[in-house]
A and B are shown apart, each in its own frame.
Chain A
Amino acid sequence: MQKIIKNGMIYDPLNNIDGEKMDICIDNGKIVDSVANDAEVIDASGKIVMAGGVDPHTHIAGAKVNVGRMYRPEDSKRDVMARGGGMRAGSGFSVPSTFMTGYRYAQMGYTTAMEAAMPPLLARHTHEEFHDMPIIDHAAFPLFGNNWFIMKYLKEGDLDKTAAYSAWLLRATKGYAIKIVNPAGTEAWAWGGNVHGINDPVPYFDVTGADIIKGLAEVNEMLGLPHAIHLHCNDLGHPGNYETTIASFDIPKNIVPKPKYGHRDKILYATHVQFHCYGGTNWRDFVSAAPKVADYVNKSDHIVIDIGQVTLDETTTMTADGPMEYDLHSLNGLKWANCDVEMETGSGVVPFIYAARAPVPASQWGVGMELFLEIKDPRKICLTTDSPNAGPFTRYPRVMAWLMSNKYRMNLIENELHKWAQTKTTVATLDREYSLYEIAQVTRATSAKVLGLSDTKGHLGVGADADIAVYDINPETQDLSAEYMAVEKAFSNAAYVLKDGEIVVLDGTMVKPDLYGRTYWINTKYKPEVEQEVLVDVEKWFRQYYSVNFENYPVQEDYIPRSVPLLGDSVPGEASGKEPAIEGASK
């Protein structure tokens, strides 16, 4: 079925289109040059049109996410939906159930989202949840930063083996990118410890966070992965951690990006940097170091960051940074969940209340905003809340409205936030306001490009997937800075959302809830002869130290019904015939 979106104002940074009135033609799930006269017309007059949102870092599927749901019925009760209109029932404010997650992303005009932390041993769980998550295309990032094989090979200085193992692990888990969380620290947490900074060696394996970041950054380019290494730095949340942050950013800067797929030109993706920009030595003399980190990012070309903006909600924190969650539990006294995963990683979950009237959350809000407003080039920023860690993804529209309206921010700072937001951060002195073009950049374009998916995602050029959001915002008649509540509302409930050319949301309501998205994963091998050697090690360790058999470890293809393997034999968009037919792809 052909469609044409007429008369909308287009915001498409990857194609340098800034609010021009243009028509978008759609055929067979793709954006095309032209369509026949009888194509279905979608009237976008007086509305803006963007590519479907691309969330590069969120926690929506997998073991710790489900612990977050299971052990917080009080959170589930805060947002409940009934079955109806073809939609499944569900619940959860900060951690919605899987069906609800798909619907809520789609209603905001987001059509792609990446699960940012997948323990390899529990990968099957993440994929099972994806199976029940409608609409959004997705992928998951397996955790590499505390993996025994990685640490062993890096200690031996054998990058070839590290690369061969990494390729095998991506295939075995159907994973997409190299995720590093508190490198060396989570392994130390298996003994109840942590590391401090990047030069503190991990017990027994005797490599440092710096070794792990550098080694895996090199491996990332040896494999030519579409995405950069995805780094959650050491010392998260500690006053004074900005020095670790900047030192970590500096480690891989001389490596050259060599993606074999996509158009990534950065070497490092640093996540939820808001949590890593703290100065001082404790929470009394704490001060924001966001200006220093922003300055570093402004002067560097090898890095993209996402913010992890605090949204001032009661939420659920969850991360593979096990020691951090234990510290958080010691700090706020709320219930602590943890799961150490043999040979690989760990995780923790703790509820957190970011109260606007409390000094630290107010400052954290300010730190995030400082990063947004002081980093000059939005091509280096992705908008996230590290959902649900700093706030649930359903608050993205509010974050967009904050960015677009100094008035909205000042109302908050003056009337609701603890004064630390003003005394500990510079946010009250920043009056920059994002344009719609910049919003499109930080919610779609930057993320699609750094993920390596910008051939088909994050833009509205010919050949892109027809994942499109139309919002009821009219910059010609509305003062967006003054009408911030209208902006927030419009971004929360898109007028139209198309996924692969199908209308899935109309006026903020799901109209086609049974469409299911693709799973991207990396199907690559590094030097088969090295992989043979590595697998001898792997099988030996499986026999001795894992609690599952080697043959039962890899995630079977059965778990990936709409599989899009990259780098291997088949690449979507090429004549491989393996691109799944999305038309009628409902389960």
Chain B
Amino acid sequence: MELVKNVVCPFCGTLCDDIVCKVENNEIVGTINACRIGHSKFVHTEGAMRWKKPMIRQGDEFVETTYDDAIEKAAHVLADAKRPLMYGWSCTDCDAQAVGVELAEETGAVIDNTASVCHGPSVLALQDVGYPICTFGEVKNRADVVVYWGCNPMHAHPRHLSRNVFSRGFFRERGRADRTLVVVDPRKSDSSKLADVHLQLDFDKDYELLDAIRTVVRGKDILYDEVAGIPREQIYEVAEVLKNAQFGILFFGMGITHSRGKHRNIDTAICLVQELNDYSKWTLIPMRGHYNVTGFNQVCTWESGYPYCVDFSTGEPRYNPGETGANDLLQNKEADAMMVIASDPGAHFPQNAIMRMAEIPVIAIEPHRTPTTEMADVIIPPAIVGMEAEGTAYRMEGVPIRMRKVVDSDLLTDKQILERIRDRVKELQASK
């Protein structure tokens, strides 16, 4: 058995880069350091069915085919479409994403990633009021007050707490004991159990609570006995904890980006962090989900100027979330073809969007059998980045790390598949 060290985990936005993979006969048979989710991604626990060959739908059946045929079909679908949509991108590497942006330009497509159904509201908020962040190491070395708002890292980012909060840092030699941990969540969760302070607010009242804390931080009084189900006195106490931090950090997740208020919640959370800097040092970090969802926003921004929801139908990049998002195009029945890569909208999109997906040709570049591939017309399986292929990914706060290749695969990479589609689309466009 061979041990491959310093492997980067292709699961969540924590992007742990200290995984050891146990390899036997070109297969990953075990891991060290990975969390349970990461481990199961590496070793393919039962239940995950891998596509080994490209497939094309014929009636109700999928028929095995070659890469050449699948790519030819995909290129025709995209070249013939009037308003193609390219969605996903968050579980592949930046080089593939870059080819994707070029392909979107070439076909006049709308390109969007999973941010539009997770931290899209955070993007809108940072475009409104700003984006004060730091890297993980700053949290580990300095943070004495840590807030998790609307997220449950023990389940969704299992090593986030152990790497950043429980671990000992340069100025926090006792690790967890040197920090005050605040969890804000309407539910009791495995994360809230670990907290020093659990603010169990009323569901959908995040904005109210944030606003009340801001009020106190700004030296004004709260005129009610309780806000969002939290007693007035406790809000004052928490505001004091936040103001007296030496270094505070706010991690926030989808419990606040997608509850009532959406980007307005994040607006006011960012403003709170900015105001706390009048008293101490505060920054925030969005708890991004897919391991490279951040990377797509980076690539799409440096190539087009906008992070997601980019419409190339006029040749120029246009950005108007609410009009140019994946769900907008599907639910408005604008999209007449869709390419899905490195994500599973079939499992996660609303019913109306799924109904449109069922009506139009769908190309899925996807390693596993998923609800999306069930609806697809063409399935093109890639090698999995981080296990069978190299590439760059950006951690949730923007630290770029090189994903390692651990085992070999006969499959093409996402990047190679996209390059071949792009080249073929160019030929088709030229012959029009």
Contact across chains for A90 and B304 when beta carbons are under 8 A apart: yes
> B398: which of A63, A81, A556 is its contact (CB, 8 Å)?
A63
CB of B6 within 8 A of CB of A97, answer: no
Per-residue A-contact encoding for B50-71, CB less than 8 Å = 1, 0 else: 0000000000000000000000
Residues of B within 8 A of A65 (CB): 302
**B432 CB, nearest partner CB in chain A, Å:** 16
By a CB distance below 8 angstroms, the chain A residues around B105 are: 83, 88-89
A204 to B169, CA, bound (A): 14
Is the Cβ of B137 less than 8 Å from the Cβ of A90?
A: no
**Chain A hits for B168, CB < 8 A:** 544
- CB neighbours (8 Å) of B141 from chain A are 342-343, 545
Contact present for A335 and B129 (CB under 8 Å): yes
Chain A 36-74: CB-based contact to B (< 8 A → 1; otherwise 0): 000000000000000000000000010101110111110
Surface stretch bound by A, among B22-30, B84-92, B203-211, B309-317: B309-317
- Chain A residue numbers with a CB within 8 Å of B332 are none
Q: How many Å from the CB of A387 to the closest CB on chain B?
A: 16
Nearest to B169 among chain A residues (CB) is A545
In angstroms, Cα B137 to Cα A545, docked, is 6
Q: Kindly identify which residue among B129, B137, B302, B304 contacts A546, using a CB–CB cutoff of 8 Å.
A: B137
A92 touches B305 (CB 8 A): yes
Q: Which B residues are CB-close (under 8 A) to A122? A: 398-400
The answer on a CB contact under 8 Å between B315 and A83 is yes
Indicate whether A125 sits within 8 Å of B312 (C-beta atoms), given known contacts A76-B306, A90-B303, A547-B137.
no
Q: Does A339 contact B (CB under 8 A)?
A: yes
| Chain B neighbourhood of A580, CB < 8 A | none
Closest CB of chain B to A71's CB: distance in Å?
A: 5
Q: Kindly state whether residue A578 has any CB partner on chain B within 8 Å.
A: no
In the complex with contacts A80-B317, A89-B316, A190-B281, A545-B170 CB distance below 8 A: yes
Size bracket of the A interface: 35 or more
Q: Is A329 an interface residue (CB 8 A)?
A: yes
Q: Tell whether, in the assembled complex, residue B392 and residue A128 are in contact, meaning their CB atoms are under 8 Å apart.
A: yes
A-B contact pairs, 10 of them (CB 8 A): A71-B131, A83-B106, A89-B105, A124-B402, A128-B94, A336-B131, A337-B130, A339-B135, A547-B140, A548-B17
Closest-by-CB residue of B relative to A541 is: B170
CB of A99 within 8 Å of the partner chain: yes
Pairwise interchain contact A548-B399, C-beta atoms closer than 8 A: yes
**For chain B residues 110-143, which have a beta carbon within 8 Å of chain A?**
123, 126-138, 140-142
Bound-complex Cα distance A98 to B317 (A): 14
For residue B88, give the distance in angstroms from its CB to the closest CB of chain A. 19
The reply to whether A82 and B306 form a contact with Cβ atoms under 8 Å apart is no
Q: A128 CA to B296 CA in the complex, in Å?
A: 13
A340 at the interface (CB under 8 A from B): yes
The reply to whether the CB of A434 lies closer than 8 angstroms to some CB of chain B is no
Pick the contact of A551 from B5, B135, B315 — CB < 8 Å? Answer: B5
Is the pair B133, A70 in contact by a Cβ cutoff of 8 Å? no
Cβ of B319 under 8 Å from chain A? yes
- Determine if B351 is an interface residue (Cβ-Cβ < 8 Å): no
Chain A interfacial positions (CB closer than 8 Å to B): 61, 63, 65-67, 69-73, 76, 80-84, 88-92, 96-99, 121-122, 124-125, 128-129, 132, 189-192, 204, 326, 329, 335-343, 346, 349, 544-549, 551-552, 556, 558
CA distance A97 to B98 in the complex (A): 13
Indicate the member of A84, A89, A189 with the most B CB atoms within 10 Å: A89
A125 near B135 (CB under 8 angstroms)?
no
B394: min CB distance to chain A, Å: 8
B282-318 at interface with A (beta carbon < 8 Å): 283, 297-299, 301-307, 312, 314-317
Please provide the 4 A-B residue pairs with the shortest distance between their CB atoms, ordered closest to farther. A342-B137, A91-B305, A82-B315, A192-B281
Do A342 and B136 touch (CB < 8 A)?
yes
Give, as a whole number of angstroms, the nearest-CB distance from A414 to chain B: 37
**Bound form: Cα–Cα A369–B135 in Å:** 39
State how many angstroms separate the Cβ of B94 from the closest Cβ of chain A.
6
CA distance A245 to B223 in the complex (A): 51
Docked-complex contact A97 and B303, CB < 8 angstroms: yes
Partner of B128, one of A98, A129, A335, A346: A335
Given the known A-B contacts A545-B141, A549-B6, are A66 and B301 also in contact in the complex, defined by CB atoms under 8 Å?
A: yes
**Assuming the A-B contacts A190-B142, A191-B246, are A329 and B130 also in contact, with contact meaning beta carbons closer than 8 angstroms in the complex?**
yes
Besides A96-B305, A549-B18, 14 other CB < 8 A contacts?
A63-B398, A69-B305, A73-B319, A90-B305, A91-B304, A99-B303, A191-B247, A204-B171, A336-B274, A337-B131, A338-B130, A339-B397, A548-B399, A549-B17
Q: When chains A and B are docked, how far (Å) is the Cα of A564 from the Cα of B216?
A: 56
